[in-house]
Each structure stands twice: as structure tokens, then as C-alpha cells.
Chain A
Amino acid sequence: MGYHCVVCVKQVPDTKRLSGQAMKDDGTVNRAALPAIFNPEDLNALETALAIRDRWGGTVTVITMGLPKAADVLRESLFRGADRGILITDRRAAGSDTLATSYILSCAIRRLAPDLVLCGRQAIDGDTAQVGPQIAEKLGVTLVTYLDELLDLRGATLRAKRNLGNGFEIVEAELPVLLTVVDTANTPRPPAARRVMKFKKARCRSEVEQVVARELPTGGEDEKATEVARRCLALAERGLLMGQWNLDEIGADLTWCGLKGSPTKVHRVQSIVLAGGAYREFEASEDGVARLVRELIEDHTIG
């Protein structure tokens, strides 16, 4: 019994902390200078899934697509209560736009056959809010955007409150559904200390490969592969090996993946350069402020 939930999460640069140092000389963003964080609304999606499991039973599987480093958000999900994490990583997925990303994620989700798919409404690096709806379209499941409150789940029927910004809507749909969750939906539970202790050593295969490559820099390919296999097996025995899939393993058609599968192309990127200094400064004194007001009245800006 219970419901099987898949939560799509993303590791994003913390765009709130962007500063001058985060830009490279060529004007592009230096991702390395930005702390990588769990996309905030994806935490609301995870919390929704965990609350469903708490109340009705079932499982919560978290998937993410990205570089091996993105396994951080899977571990964080385990700390907060997820049952399982799967990393989708493949060089051939690089350069994917929202359409290609949603295609790849939909291939992975199809293998998991969940009752509910949950996504944050949008990620703070692009703010597009496109991947959730596009996964729903590709899976052919019913889309419910802007979930503010899950009112009920009864059998295969879901009842939910949507936050439309200028109002609310209460809708009913049959499972399977894809929900995109807004930040007002809930307060994500913090990582549980006990689970942090248990899962802090959880790793994906590609992370193990990186460590082995670092520790055996002169080792042959066979030697490294054997060592990786040994360590992965040891992790798996302790329930600490997180899942990892490449594009072949999810049965993705490469035509629709990566740069090739992305209809949108970057024509140009410009960094924002501040002009600066062109304003007229008035003193903060009574006098200075009065002079400013007089000028605003004289040119009919106010009054």
C-alpha cells in the first residue's frame, strides 16, 4: 500500500550570493565561485513527498541530473528522509535545454513508474519553470502546477489547492500526476541528525571513481576498475551506494539529448556592466533634502 513518489531536484548556484567576484573576465559566470545549493522549491517538493509517505505510506525516490558533484543534493535528500537517491549523469547530456532535460528525466522516471512525480515550481538559476510541465507532457500524466496544499489522496484520486498568484483553485485529478510545488506549500523538515550520521558516507559510483583516480594516480585502468567495484560493493552492503544511471541505462534516444536535442541555442551572453556615477547627489541634511524636493516640484515630477 501507499504511494510511490519520485522527486526531481536540482543543484543550483546560489544566485542570491552573486557578486563581482563571481564573474570571469570574459563576462561569464564563474560557477566555481558560487556555493552550490539545493534548489529551494525542490525542498518544498521533497517535503510534500515525505508528508505523503508519512500519512499514507509508500516510498520517496529522489532523482537529479548533473555532474557527479550533484550527488550532494541526493545525500541531503537522504538526510531529510528520502528512501533512495539516483544520479543521472552522462557527458552526452551536457548542454541540454529545458526540452532535452525534461526528455532525459522523463526517460528515467518512466523506469520508476511512480504514482506521483514532484518538482519544485522553478530553479533559481534559470527561473524558467518549464521542466516540470514538460516532464508531465512527455510522460502523458496529468499536470498540476503551483501546488499550495495537498488536500487529500483517496485511492487514485488527488485533491489539491493551486496557488495562481492572483487566486486559488481546487482541483481533482486521477493518478498518476505530476505536481510542481511552490514555496508557500510547507516548511521543509531539516536534516535529521541520526540520518546524517547514517548517510554522510553514501556515495554514487562516479564519486567513488573520482576518489580512486585521486588515490591511485599511477594505477592501470584494470586496477582502478577493480578497486571501484570493490568499494561500490562494500558501500552497497551497508546500504550506502546511491543509484547512478547514464543515458543508455534509461533508454534515452540521443537525438533528443544534450546540445543536439536542444532547439534553443545561445546567440550571445553579455555580463551586466553598471554605468554608475551619472546621478546627482544631494546631501542627507535638512537643507540638501529640501533642495532635492524643490527641484522635483519645479520640474513637475511631484506636486
Chain B
Amino acid sequence: MIGVNRKGEVWVFVEHEGGTLSDVPLELLGKGRELADTLGVPLAALLLTGGDGDEMVRRLGQYGADKVYLVEHDLLRQYQTATFARVVCELVQAHAPQVVLYGATAMGRDLAPTVASALKCGLTADCTDLQIGDHTPPGGKELHRNLLLQIRPAFGGSIIATIVNFDRWPQMATVREGVMVMPEPDGRARATVVRHRASLNGFVAPLRILESQRREKKVNLKAARVIVAGGAGVGRREDFRLIWELANCLGGAVGASRAAIDLGFVDKDHQVGQTGTTVRPALYVACGISGAVQHRAGMEESAKILAINIDRSAPIFSVAHYGIVGDLRVVIPRLIRAIRSGARIEGLAEPLGGRAAASGDARG
């Protein structure tokens, strides 16, 4: 635990895979920049690596880091909790940052709570927004200025809670991938490098990692311009092919609600929402998705939302721009016919339906 340090920096823990930066630390640098500017302090990235740091340092600078704390050690070649937590704690104690942000990834959700426990400081998981603001404890008189307001859904998303941490610092939070908007890189920006020698010599890492396999996600929802998503309202796994057909017809990707995943309609990689991927496509078509807040949190910033649902009172309509109340088994085939003939009427060189082959079918 460290005390309140008003001059403390804003830090972003950098996740990377074999020298390639993940998206989430870059997204966090965007939000971190905003927080650091409001507080008038530097923004720093925390890079732990086996020794291939230079290129990553360059990119972190371009994405907004003023400073990179670079720790290179053979034991940091592969992530494991105890080693990384030890180094992060050491750095926090040496430099007393006021804010530390982590991606809410498998790694971040393993590392951040361990660091918080060791430092006896607070940690808020899966924040959907971060702001700077003031707080007065209930019944208290003292006003705590410029705290990190850690905003997250709770209770299955039925409420939005704002959490603060005013005495035992640093203020730490995890944020899911895709929630913060990735900043535009500035090719001329440079970060100062601060090398830190970790006290790891003689340290025995408790886990022996015998095998490690990574697989690419079957679908890249974040990059899709159009997403057609199905929910429990699709009814049966066989009928989920309608979702695929509409997506193919629009050259889009297939998304799904948690309920559709749980029912086994489609693979978990397709999940949109708080515990899946957060997306902002040009068009999001929600088919048979009631629109639980966890799902809405992952798609409500789409440019256009079309909701197709048989239940007029479904909450999905509250975030929709266009709505069709009806049975998706009837509506989707009509949509497909209209899109195909619409393309003909518009006289486009390539009928929209012709993109089906290019978009690929990632089922299976």
C-alpha cells in the first residue's frame, strides 16, 4: 500500500504476446492520456519483457505514453502471476503512481488482483468508463478532490456503480478490450525510457509452463463494419443459419448474445457484450436479442442499430434506431430478398449478395 500521492503518474500495464502489443494497452493509453492531462501528470506505460522491448517502446510513445518503464529479464519472457506481480509491486512502491490501469484480459484479471492484494489497495474490475471527480464520504466532511471515478455495471448489469478509492493508493482498475477507443498514433511522438532492474535474480518462479498454445479468434468482431447478431429468440440452433445468411448477404460478421452462446447456437468467440467483445460497427442488426444490459453495454455505441424482435417491450428497442416487431424467421428472409433486389435497383456493379463468398463462413 502506498499513500495518496497527488503528483503520482497515470500508469498503463502493457500486455503483449511475443513482442507484439495487444490492443487493450493501446486503448488504455487513449483513456490514460485524458486522465493524465486532467490531473496534470505524466502518462507512463509499464512494459515487462524478456528482452525485445525497443520496437514496443517506440509504438507506446506513438500511442501517447510520455514515459515507458522498461523491465527486461529472462524470467519475464513468459507471463506468470508471481513473477510479474512481484515486479509490478516493486515499481509501484518505487514510483508511487496514483492510477494503474490493466486490460481485463485473462492475464490482467490474474495479475491485477494479485498486485492489489500484495499492496493492500483497491481494484475495480471491468470498468466501462473512467473519469476524474471529487468525492465526499457519506457522513464525512472532508472532500477528496480529483479521484479516479471507476464506473462499472454491477448486479448482472442492472445498476451502474461508481467506485472510488480515496486513501489506500494506487487507484487501480481493469477495463475490457474494446471498451475504450483506440487513439490515433502520432508517428513523431516519443516516450522517455526508464529502465528498471528487477530484483529477480535467484527468484524461483512457482509455475512450470510445460505447454502453451494460442489460437486466433474465429471471428474479428471489432473490425467488422456490419454485425448481424442472434439471441435466444432465434429459438433453435438450426434457425441460427438465418443469422449467417443475413450476415453473408451484408458482408458482415456474426455476433451473438450470451444467451445464444449458452444455448449452443454458436461459438463463444461470437459473443458481443460486457463479457464478450465490445463493438461499434456501422450497422448492428440484433435478431431475437431481448437486450439485457450486459449485451447493450457491448453494442449500444454502434452507428446504426436495427432490432428485430417479436416482443415490442424488449429492452433492445430502447437503444435501436430502427425496429421491426415481428418473427425473425419471416423478417430475415424478406430482408435478404430486399437487400438483393435493392442492390439490383441501385445498379451496383457487384450485387451485395455476391459478397457472401468473400466474407467467409466461419462456422464449425
Q: List chain A positions with a Cβ less than 8 A from chain B.
A: 13, 15-16, 18, 22-23, 27-29, 97-99, 102, 124-134, 136-138, 142-146, 159, 164-174, 256, 262-272, 274-286, 288-290, 292-297, 301-303
Contacts and interface: CB of A to CB of B under 8 A. Distances in A.
Given A27-B159, A142-B206, A292 B306 contact: yes
A276 B312 CA distance: 11
Contacts of A267: 133, 135, 149, 162-164
12 contacts: A18-B158, A125-B155, A133-B110, A137-B114, A171-B208, A172-B210, A268-B161, A272-B157, A279-B317, A282-B324, A289-B338, A295-B322
A288 B326 CA distance: 11
B327 A284 contact: yes
Interface of B: 81-82, 85, 105-107, 109-110, 112-114, 116-118, 120-126, 133, 135, 137, 149-150, 153-168, 206-217, 226, 250, 274-275, 282-283, 293, 303-304, 306-307, 315, 317-327, 330-331, 334-335, 337-339, 341-343, 346, 348, 352
B168 A303 contact: no
Would you call the interface of chain B mostly helix, strand, loop, or mixed?
Answer: mixed
A159 B322 CA distance: 52
Nearest to A289: B334
Give 10 nearest A-B pairs by CB, closest first: A15-B156, A284-B326, A263-B122, A167-B214, A137-B117, A264-B122, A134-B117, A130-B113, A128-B125, A274-B318
Nearest to B105: A165
B119 to A, nearest CB: 10
A204 B278 CA distance: 44
A166 B118 contact: no
Contact of A166 (B214, B319, B337): B214
Contact of B318 (A266, A270, A275, A296): A275
Most buried by A among B117, B166, B326: B117
A285 B326 CA distance: 9
A296 B335 CA distance: 11
Contacts of B113: 98, 128-134, 137
A169 B82 contact: no
A293 B337 CA distance: 10
A145 B111 CA distance: 10
Contacts of A166: 106, 214-217
Contact of A297 (B105, B106, B125, B342): B342
A161 to B, nearest CB: 9
Given A138-B117, A289-B331, 10 more contacts: A15-B158, A165-B105, A169-B212, A262-B122, A265-B165, A272-B158, A281-B324, A286-B338, A292-B335, A302-B250
Contact of A171 (B123, B207, B337): B207
Contacts, number: 249
Nearest to B251: A302
A123 B341 CA distance: 49
B324 A137 contact: no
A293 B342 contact: yes
A11 to B, nearest CB: 14
B208 A302 contact: no
A302 B335 CA distance: 12
A281 B325 CA distance: 8
Contacts of B117: 99, 102, 133-134, 137-138
Given A16-B156, A137-B118, A272 B327 contact: no
Most buried by B among A125, A169, A282, A295: A169
Contacts of B341: 290
A138 B324 CA distance: 54
Contacts of A301: 282-283, 303-304
Contacts of B107: 164
B253 to A, nearest CB: 14
Contact of A303 (B208, B304, B343): B343
A264 B352 contact: no
Given A124-B156, A283-B324, A303 B164 contact: no
Most buried by A among B107, B167, B317: B317
A170 B120 contact: no
Nearest to A130: B113
A23 B159 CA distance: 9
Contact of B125 (A15, A102, A129, A269): A129
B106 A263 contact: no
Nearest to A300: B282
Contacts of A286: 334, 337-338
Given A127-B126, A279-B307, A28 B164 contact: no
Nearest to A256: B120
A301 B339 CA distance: 12
A18 B113 CA distance: 28
Contacts of B85: 137
Contacts of A280: 321-323
Nearest to A273: B318
Nearest to B107: A164
A288 B208 contact: no
Contacts of A129: 109, 113, 125
